[in-house]
Amino acid sequence: MTILHILKTEPDEITRSLMDLVSEGEESTMFALYEEGADYEKLIDLIFEKDSTISWW
């Protein structure tokens, strides 16, 4: 299974730990919305490519 993690803000230590637990043994990709110049077209492609998407606010 492939997982996409969408991050609205830079993750703190707890969020990173949760992401690691959820992704354990799976292929995962992070997409940072908080970074300047985020490529929203790439985000749409990733959403459709991955089996699961998790939004972290």
Q: Residue 24 carries which side chain, given as an amino acid letter?
A: E
Q: Which residues pair with 5 in a beta bridge?
A: 30, 54
Residue 10 sits in which domain range? Answer: 2-56
Q: How far apart are CA 27 and CA 25, in angstroms?
A: 7
Q: Which residues contact 30 (CB under 8 A, 6 or more apart)?
A: 5, 7, 19
Q: Quickly state the pLDDT bin for 54 (edges 50, 70, 90).
A: very high
pLDDT, tens only, 11-52 = 999 999 999 999 999 999 999 999 999 999 999 999 999 999
How many structural domains is the chain composed of?
A: 1
